[in-house]
Chain A
Amino acid sequence: MSTAAPASQLMGDGVRPATETIRIRVNGREVEVPKTMPDWQGKPVPTTMLQACEWAGVTVPHYCYHPKLPVAGNCRMCLVEYGTPALGPDRQPILNPDGTPRIVKSPRPAIACATPVTPGMEIYTDTPGVKAMRAGVLEFLLINHPLDCPICDQAGECKLQEYALDYGEAFSRFGEAKVHKPKAVDLGPRIVFDAERCILCTRCIRFTRDIVGDDALGIVHRGSYSTIATAPGRAFDNNYTLNTVDLCPVGALTSRDFRFRMRVWFLKETPSICPSCGTGCNIRIGSRQGRIYRYTPRPNDAVNSHWMCDYGRLNYKWIHRPDRLQKVEIRGRVSSWELASDQILQQLRVASPGSVGLVASARLSNEELWLLSRLKARLHALSDAVPREGEGDALLLHADRNPNTQGARLTGVCYTEMGSQLPLIWERIRTGQIRILLVFGEDVIRQGCDPASLDQLEMLVVCDVLPNATTAKAHFLLPGCAPAEKSGTFTNVHGRVQRFHAAIPPPGEARPEWQFLAEWVTRLTGESLPGHLPGLFNRMASEVRAFQGLTWSELGDLGRLVPV
């Protein structure tokens, strides 16, 4: 979890850098900073010392400050010393003999997170006084802390550890009994709270109150006995509770799901996109040795700010289900990709126009959907994708539970009204007009296709990740990949094309769909396609009107918006 965003990223989408700048000095170095910068809501407000220091590339340690939360100013870790130009009686700056303005150092420090910079201000973050204040704050934070890093999930990504190492003292003067507070408290179904580790920065309280609008958390008791708590009898249970675990700078709030399961320094973090709804929250997949341990949100102001919903975050367990499809099967017998591809393509080559139906999933990547639309064009197939609706909310969770509805539309696999062709496909299967059905990642029986009619087909090709009623009837069963097991792009509901990367290898014989689909298209059409994903994306971008001008590398980590 990192809150120190680079200067360029502090400017949220839509907030243009202020043209007006002011000159200040940070540790003696002159820098020009914008007069205003976005506050937690993106509203331009006078630039704070902390923002100015980050702009100047100077780190100011902090616990309670978070760029996307209202300022609390309670941790006192960001205290800095500063001075302002002395003004004469005529309100003009008094100059030193060498012509520079005379700076009057403030007798009191200021919290960098809440104090605006003024022209000519000098900020000092590395003086003995500032170092002593940081060491003092850390000493205070640690005296009642249990110091149980060896069993704490936060260890390795803990601001208390990091700052104690950077700014703290190596010894303790504390010889009293520590304050004892509740441990392993279930704040809600997904959050476990250790009050002794808590440094009372109130990030969790502000998040749930000001971002989610669920005023579920508060502080009870006072002084050093203060403790985060829910109202009696109330659980901290909204769809965004797990963000407080990311926000918590220490190990006080832990995820029931992730707790005690893996040391964070063993996790490989892969930038990806949450596939659970059309919002396309940017995430990091934490995995180790082919196993996923957690999803965490990756900041992207244009999509999900710094957050993601609990539903999306915990929707990864199916990837490791033991009944995952892992083998290529031809009519129930284990076979190989080569054999299956040969036989499928042999039939497809001779299929008469209109005799092929194609049901794709809007959970496939843009590249895969585009390859399917190429197949569709070659075979003159009737195709559609399956809409998937749920209940959305005002923050992130979208009612469209497909991650790539726009991709399916833009590549031409379905019409704007997704699913409108499905009844026609079922009808034509029943009447025998459709002799070959290709199903990618959907259970057509569950979508209303008569199971008995599937038995009349000459060929039923099903590619999926988990077994279902349709896979049971498949003539050719091909094991596919979860998004976490392959790379690609999704187009979210607003038309933002975003990359995701393979975090773990697929199980067994499973292959990313784009790999064998590219092979099929090449073999069917004779057109040579790039065998790697970036090339495939660039080829698609040159052919699909909506993606015109995009390149894989230019998508970057934050994606690009296309008109939809």
Chain B
Amino acid sequence: MPAEYRLILKHALEPGYTPDLACYLRHGGYETLRKGLTLPPRTLPDGRSLSPQEQIREEVVKSGLRGRGGAGFPCGLKWSFVDRRSGKPIYLICNADESEPGTFKDRQIIYRDPHQLLEGMILACFANDVHLGFIYIRGEFTEGARILERALAEARDHGLLGKNILGTGYDLDILVHRGAGAYICGEETGLIESLEGKRPYPRIKPPYFPAVLGLYLCPTIVNNVETLCNIKHIVAMGGSEFAKIGTPNNTGTRLVSLSGHVRRPGCYEIETGKVTLGELIFDPAFGGGLREGRQLQAVIPGGVSAKVFRAGERVSLRRRGLDGKEVVEERDVLDLPYDFDTLIAAGSMSGSGAVIVIDDSVSMVDVLANISAFFAHESCGQCTPCREGSLWMAKILKRLASGRGRPRDAEDLLHIADNIPGGRTICAFGDACSWPVQSTVSKFKEQFLARGAEGEPYRKVAQPAATSVARLSGTGGGAHPAASALASSVSTAS
């Protein structure tokens, strides 16, 4: 029987739990911080001695913790890339710019349990010899920023932050920086540029790997809110103990933001890989199934940039069995365990943990038009394929969705989407804006072809005035394509 496994949201969802320090301390808060900061040096069999910082870093490697922001990159490995010999300060940034559509997990932590984030973050800073940390919080989270500021003030007042934390001689300050509302600020180098006060243009890698040339060209670690909370639990229980939660290489818990056409949308914490997509949607402990009389049409498993699954789709997974042989296993998408590796093997990703459920009451053309409009609006415009391609796709989809499609639109969309991702752009936004188009158009091609076929005949030389009239009448209450064509020809004549 699948059930929630609450580690990070253990207390946050309890009735009466408040985001203030006193409540956090009553629930055993900051005990782990004390433990972490005062770890005795450990001597290895070969005579080397491990400092407390090195011990924490080692525990994080052992825990197998993978980044919760979207890419699922191993946290311990990310920390190991940090240039610790540069002589420059090392910065740690908490990425709280939760902006992937469908995702609402980080805000649960920030709004309900900010001190858990701070404790994890202070430990992460300590482990990496960081003396100045930043929380880059999404601009729309005005209340969240206030809660964090209050929590930081409380922590400073109680000697948990600032000079000589808990009498251990460790100094750290953390500053909250509010974004101004751009999706691209969630990209770590875009975030760094934004934090430096510039346009959030993602940096080219090489040479600007944050671990070497990050904030102010100093070594920098950027970790997601949920990732940093996990650090606290890793230090508390030890890396190997943490690794027992979830499944191998997909350790710990995940906060799943379940939204769309389910009876019980919400944020659920699960053991990674122990719950399937189908259970998330249909189990009474989670989504509780679809609305009466509706059929499942599609699932987006990891935020809108993840590739969509079609209901009933069967995916073949290549897995290495215990005997080391590769076996190919065919599964229904709903039977896929919700973890990092399986969903990647199935051609999509768990991304930011946002599961969006779509039933048969909507057209996938409209769904994709909505998604593409978002990406066209959020493309920063720095590099060519994404800047021009995202808007082009959005324009085609808007036209298609408003009844002025062409039969070849589906092919065009696929062709455009093929020219954007896979390293052709500076950052992963190129992938994010083209994956939904690639997957939705190819998996629901009949819907796109049908819309394209029912659109008014494509006129090669469109009169600007005529098209605008057609657009108005097309969107103003589902006018028949022929009627809008008539309207446009009338206005051209006048």
Give 18 CB contacts A-B under 8 Å.
A74-B382, A74-B426, A76-B424, A77-B384, A108-B422, A109-B423, A114-B206, A114-B207, A136-B424, A137-B385, A176-B395, A177-B464, A199-B384, A200-B381, A222-B378, A223-B379, A224-B376, A224-B387
List residues of chain B with CB within 8 A of the CB of A137: 384-385, 419, 424
Residues of A near B458 (CB, < 8 A) are: 175
Cβ–Cβ < 8 Å partners of B419 in chain A: 132-133, 136-137, 139-140
A108 touches B467 (CB 8 A): no
What's the Cα separation between A225 and B387 when bound, in Å?
9
Q: Is A71 interfacial (CB-CB < 8 Å)?
A: yes
Q: Which residue of B lies closest to A73 (CB)?
A: B204
Question: Within 8 Å CB of A173, what residues of B?
Answer: 412, 415
Q: Is the CB–CB distance between A140 and B388 below 8 Å?
A: yes
Asked if B310 is at the interface of the complex by the 8 Å CB criterion, the answer is: no
Q: Evaluate contact between B381 and A176: CB separation under 8 angstroms.
A: no
Hey, which bits of chain A sit against chain B, CB under 8 A? Answer: 71-77, 79, 107-111, 114-116, 132-133, 136-137, 139-141, 143-144, 173-177, 179, 199-200, 218-219, 221-226
Contact B399 A176 (CB under 8 A): yes
Beta-carbon contact of B423 and A110 below 8 Å: yes
Q: Closest CB-CB distance, B214 to chain A, in whole Å?
A: 17
**Is A140 a contact partner of B426 (Cβ separation < 8 A)?**
no
Number of interface residues of B (CB under 8 A): 38
> B368-397 interface mask toward A, CB cutoff 8 Å, 1 = contact, 0 = none?
000000001111111111011111100110
- Are A141 and B378 CB-contacts (below 8 A) given A175-B458, A222-B182? no
Task: Say yes or no: A76-B384 contact (C-beta < 8 A), given A175-B406, A223-B377, A223-B378.
Answer: yes
Q: Which residues of A contact B182 (CB under 8 A)?
A: 222
Residues of B409-424 whose CB lies within 8 A of A: 412, 415, 419, 422-424
For the complex, give the distance between the alpha carbons of A140 and B434 in Å: 14
Is the beta-carbon distance between B204 and A75 smaller than 8 angstroms? no
The chain B residue sitting closest to A225, CB to CB, is B381
**In the complex, A109→B399 CA distance in Å?**
33
Q: A222 and B415: CB pair below 8 A?
A: no
Bound-complex Cα distance A174 to B207 (A): 35
Q: Which residues of B contact A (CB under 8 A)?
A: 182, 199, 204, 206-207, 376-385, 387-392, 395-396, 399, 406, 412, 415, 419, 422-426, 458, 460, 462, 464, 467
Residues on A with beta carbons closer than 8 Å to the beta carbon of B389: 140
Are A177's CB and B207's CB within 8 A? Answer: no
Give the residue of B207, B387, B424 whose beta carbon is less than 8 angstroms from that of A223. Answer: B387
Contact: B206 with A174, CB < 8 Å? no
Having A74-B426, A222-B182, one finds 20 other A-B pairs with CB under 8 Å, namely A73-B383, A75-B383, A76-B384, A76-B385, A108-B423, A109-B422, A110-B423, A114-B206, A132-B419, A137-B419, A137-B424, A141-B384, A175-B406, A176-B399, A177-B462, A199-B384, A200-B384, A200-B387, A224-B381, A224-B387
How long is the Cα–Cα vector from A175 to B182 in the complex, in angstroms? 29
B415 near A223 with CB under 8 A, answer no
Q: Pick the contact of A224: B204, B391, B415, B424 (CB < 8 A).
A: B391
The answer to whether B385 touches A111, judged by C-beta atoms less than 8 angstroms apart, is no
Contacts of B422 in A (CB 8 A): 107-109
Query: CA separation between A362 and B212, bound complex, in Å?
Result: 54
Evaluate contact between B381 and A177: CB separation under 8 angstroms.
no
Asked if A71 and B204 make an inter-chain contact with CB atoms under 8 angstroms apart, the answer reads: yes
A174 to B391, CA, bound (A): 12
CB pair B464–A176 under 8 Å, yes or no, is no
Given the known inter-chain contacts A73-B204, A114-B204, please indicate yes or no for A221 contacting B381, CB distance below 8 A. Answer: yes
Q: Are A73 and B426 in contact (CB under 8 A)?
A: yes
In Å, the complex CA distance between A116 and B379 comes to: 28
Instruction: Using CB atoms, name the residue of chain B closest to A199.
Output: B384
A107 to B424, CA, bound (A): 11
A144 CB contact (under 8 Å) in B388, B399, B424, B426: B388
Closest 8 CB pairs of A and B: A108-B423, A136-B419, A226-B381, A140-B388, A73-B204, A224-B391, A176-B395, A223-B379
Q: Which of A76, A108, A133, A221 contacts B383 (CB 8 A)?
A: A76
Chain A residues within 8 Å of B464, by CB? 177
Smallest CB gap from A218: residue in B: B199
Q: Are B391 and A179 neighbours in the complex by a CB distance under 8 Å?
A: yes
**Complex partner residue of A116 from B206, B378, B382, B383, CB under 8 angstroms:** B206
